[in-house]
Structure 1
């Protein structure tokens, strides 16, 4: 992860800790932000650099699972085909349909776990290998399933 991205995440986390509890991002939004920060620039389309600052702000301000899901879909759409497993081509349409109708943190957590699972190791920063087990565990708890780390 680049020093710039680490700084952005740290600043958002500090900002969030100063807000009242009800205004803080939920765990799924935080996990989405953490996953995005691990995705390399080479794994996203060239437009992501321009989109990202506003996207980060929207994630920080997201107040519903549906909003987080929409932002997750925006990130997924920016990830290149070369950065995901081949099986994603066949699964993607169903995943998008599920994400469009997701209304609970558990549903969004499950979909984010699936997106991360199909993302290739070459598409994420090397530090993700150490971060991932805890990330999967936290999201799995929200999703209501046992943490799994099959990647």
Structure 2
């Protein structure tokens, strides 16, 4: 599987430059969302994703609230194909979407993002994700538990 050099995490430095309280509230989940999207292969997303991705990255980087981060997370999920996720996602997805629409905290977003990543197939992410994933999961679990 080829993984084109198409994605630079330019948004991460923007998030890290935010003032600490604002960054603590939403920056970690937004950064994790960008990192996860970075690992998702082109084959796993809709053809339109190439066109909308640059604006999406910018909007995630500037998201001002957990509700905005959740909306961007839903947009990524909507652009991932069924071939990118476990078959069980067809049953769970409506509830996940409803929870994401109602999400108002970084902890809720972290739980939802962890769930999305968990149902994503290994074939839908870059091979490097296997090494990145453990720290990514640990960080989001901390946020989900209310640790941040």
TM-score by length of 1: 0.88
2:84 corresponding residue in structure 1: 83
Equivalents in 2 of 1:107, 1:14: separation in Å? Answer: 24
Query: Do the aligned partners of residues 18 and 91 (structure 1) sit closer, same or farther apart at CA in structure 2, a change above 3 Å counting?
Result: closer
For the 8 Å contact 2:30–2:61, the answer to whether it is kept is yes
The offset of 1:14, in angstroms, is 2.8
Quick check: 1:28 aligned with 2:12?
A: no
Equivalents in 2 of 1:108, 1:71: separation in Å? Answer: 11
1:4 corresponding residue in structure 2: 6
Tell me the matched-pair count: 142
Q: CA-atom RMSD, angstroms?
A: 1.6
The offset of 1:12, in angstroms, is 2.3
Equivalents in 1 of 2:36, 2:5: separation in Å? Answer: 15
Gaps of 5+ in 1: 146-151
Please give the per-residue CA displacement for 1:18-64, whole angstroms capped at 9, x wherever unaligned.
44435646100000000000000000010000110000000000011
Q: Structure 1 segments of 4 or more deviating over 4 A?
A: 22-25
Query: Do the aligned partners of residues 94 and 140 (structure 1) sit closer, same or farther apart at CA in structure 2, a change above 3 Å counting?
Result: same
Gaps of 5+ in 2: none
Matches within 5 A, 1:1-150: 2-5=4-7, 8-9=8-9, 11-22=10-21, 24=23, 26-144=27-145
Equivalents in 1 of 2:142, 2:19: separation in Å? Answer: 23
Query: Do the aligned partners of residues 87 and 21 (structure 1) sit closer, same or farther apart at CA in structure 2, a change above 3 Å counting?
Result: same
Equivalents in 2 of 1:21, 1:64: separation in Å? Answer: 14
